[in-house]
Chains A and B, each alone.
Chain A
Amino acid sequence: MSDGVKRVLVLVPFPMSPDQLAKRAEQQDEVALPPGIELHYRSTRAAPSSYVSAHDYVLADISLLEAGMHAQDEGYDAVCIDTVSDSGVAALRSLLDIPVIAPGRTMFLVASMLGRRFGIVTMWTRWKGLYERTLRDLGMEDRCAGIRSIDRKPDNRNLLAGKEEEILPLLGEAALRLVDEDDADVVCLGSTTMHQAHEYLRATLPVPVLNPGPLSYLAAETVLALGLTHSRQAYPRPLDPKQDMITTMLIAAAESESGAAR
């Protein structure tokens, strides 16, 4: 596209109604994006019900790969994934030349620029495996001071709406324990679905608080401005890309799910 506008595709990891997608899109109001960046949100065709087991991780990877694998041909300049799990990022990077931003690892690396160690505050204990996976993959386990959960099963479609009064103080308390007891210099929000808690935590905590969704948009802008993208050396292309097969799989998955719902 030649109008100078950079279009970023944001992949939301669950099938969503337009209202629910709009709640995800509200993240862009939380950060002053530079002029010339446009965000377009798209949900996956099918998904695991949550991201808590190896079964879920595989389904998350393939559903996000399918949702974003044509982004370059569609004229997008970059792809962001609306999940701290970084699901699908590695496979998307192997197919696409445009930057694909991983919010989890980006947040942990930016946190490491701001302090010695970071802590992760999260909604649900069962999400811990996701963070540990990324930290192991990054080789940065020793930089994570701790993971504290308030152990409330999250609503990945309606987010915190209507539950703020109950949830926010709990998150504040858990985050403060990361700082006081676990010695975290920086607090990372454990999910892009927690974005509505960012302002509250920022105002109440004595350390920086990173909000992974908006941070990933800024990271996309940064790599685009620098003319960079992921390394082909680290993300080699497949010999034989199977995009058609992958699309067929996800259409079948969506049909299977709607059949199950009937």
Chain B
Amino acid sequence: MRRVLVVVPFALDEAGLARRRAQTTEVSLHPEVDYEFRGVAAGPTSFQSQHDWLLLDVAVLEAGLSAEDEGYDAVVVDTVSDSGVDALRSMLRIPVVGPGRSSLLFALTLGRRFGILAQWEPALVRWRKALDEWGLERHCSGIEHFDTEPDFAGLIGAKSDEILPRMEAACERLIEDGADVVCLGSTTMHEAHGFLSERLSVPIVNPGPLSYKLVEMLLAAGATQSPKAYPQPLVSKREMIHAMVRGAAGESSP
């Protein structure tokens, strides 16, 4: 049995984690691979400013830092922002997969240009940065949002009647603008994937489930991130990082 650690970017309770774990039922996974979900110990409340991004990098790094020693065979980070992925890759030799960059690259196996369905206006600044950083701007036909504040714990849930048609309309705008493939802009949108796939004329990439399959692909191919692209630090500050986030978790406890 291979074990994969899925790092969830919020400090969620068991019900919140279960909603994230539901993504594993949306795809047929290898019977010999086990997925274990773990929330970060402490982190930002929102994800819309550089302050939030930085805190999430640290939180995800801390949550996955010891995965290799804990016997995991791979790590997935359950956020399309790929927060913490680069830092984890610099410290781990097991594959570390972030659904953001890889879902956009994967979309290019299915069509020439992808459109991104973002959550709301404040998410756009991060998407523009990501496209620049990943060098994928020329492959993106557009970004549209459906003007809904994200609910990182409850996801879409009971609000689906109101939210799903708005998501569909935003996807239609992406297709009009030339998207061959639509990438869901957050793993928190996974509950909408079935609804959108049934109604839209192009493939819809669901980043969470895709990231599990990509991990399985890398494990089967015996491939991992390049140590040349992600060099190890001269001195690992593992204990310091654990202490920082544990400290933060203690401080933020009631």
Q: Which residues of A contact B226 (CB under 8 A)?
A: 114-115, 185-186, 207-208
Q: Which residues of A contact B213 (CB under 8 A)?
A: 221-222, 225-226
Q: Mark B177-213, 1 if CB is under 8 A from A, else 0.
A: 0011100000000000000010001110110011001
Minimum distance in angstroms from B198 CB to a CB of chain A: 11
Chain B: CB-nearest residue to A102: B109
Known A-B contacts A109-B108, A230-B111; A215 and B217 likewise in contact (beta carbons under 8 Å): yes
Q: Which residues of A contact B249 (CB under 8 A)?
A: none
Minimum distance in angstroms from A31 CB to a CB of chain B: 5
Residues B35-66 near A (CB distance < 8 A): none
Interface centre among B31, B113, B135, B223 (most CB of A within 10 A): B223
B-contacting 9-mer, from A71-79, A123-131, A138-146: A138-146
Q: Which residues of A contact B229 (CB under 8 A)?
A: 114-116, 185-186
Does the CB pair A114–B109 fall under 8 Å? no
A261 beta carbon closer than 8 Å to chain B: no
B112 beta carbon closer than 8 Å to chain A: yes
Q: How far is the CA of A206 from the CA of B210 in the complex (A)?
A: 28
Q: Which residues of B contact A186 (CB under 8 A)?
A: 226, 229
Q: How far is the CA of A222 from the CA of B107 in the complex (A)?
A: 12
Known A-B contacts A139-B138, A225-B27; A112 and B105 likewise in contact (beta carbons under 8 Å): yes
* Complex partner residue of B180 from A33, A223, A231, CB under 8 angstroms: A231
Minimum distance in angstroms from B2 CB to a CB of chain A: 10
Overall SS of chain B's interface: loop
Q: How far is the CA of A214 from the CA of B175 in the complex (A)?
A: 33
Residues A1-40 near B (CB distance < 8 A): 31-35
A229 beta carbon closer than 8 Å to chain B: yes
Chain B: CB-nearest residue to A222: B213
Does the CB pair A113–B102 fall under 8 Å? yes
Known A-B contacts A114-B223, A207-B227; A109 and B201 likewise in contact (beta carbons under 8 Å): no
Does the CB pair B225–A226 fall under 8 Å? no
Minimum distance in angstroms from A32 CB to a CB of chain B: 5
Q: How far is the CA of A19 from the CA of B213 in the complex (A)?
A: 33
A233 beta carbon closer than 8 Å to chain B: yes
Does the CB pair B29–A225 fall under 8 Å? yes
Does the CB pair B110–A231 fall under 8 Å? yes
Q: Which residues of B approach A to under 8 Å, CB–CB?
A: 27-31, 97, 101-102, 105-106, 108-113, 135, 138-139, 175, 179-181, 197, 201-203, 205-206, 209-210, 213-214, 216-218, 220-230
Beyond contacts A115-B226, A222-B216, A230-B109: 15 other A-B pairs, Cβ-Cβ < 8 A, are A105-B109, A113-B105, A114-B223, A138-B108, A139-B138, A179-B228, A185-B226, A206-B227, A207-B228, A208-B223, A223-B109, A231-B180, A231-B181, A233-B201, A233-B202
Q: For the complex of A and B, list the 6 residue pairs with the smallest distance between their C-beta atoms, beginning with the closest.
A: A231-B111, A115-B226, A115-B229, A185-B226, A234-B111, A231-B180
A/B interface sample: 23 pairs, CB < 8 A: A31-B221, A32-B220, A34-B31, A109-B105, A109-B106, A109-B109, A110-B105, A113-B101, A113-B214, A179-B228, A206-B228, A209-B223, A210-B223, A218-B221, A219-B217, A222-B213, A226-B210, A229-B110, A230-B203, A231-B111, A231-B180, A231-B181, A233-B201
Q: Which residues of A approach B to under 8 Å, CB–CB?
A: 31-35, 101-102, 105-106, 109-110, 112-116, 138-139, 142-143, 179, 184-186, 202, 206-211, 214-215, 218-219, 221-223, 225-235
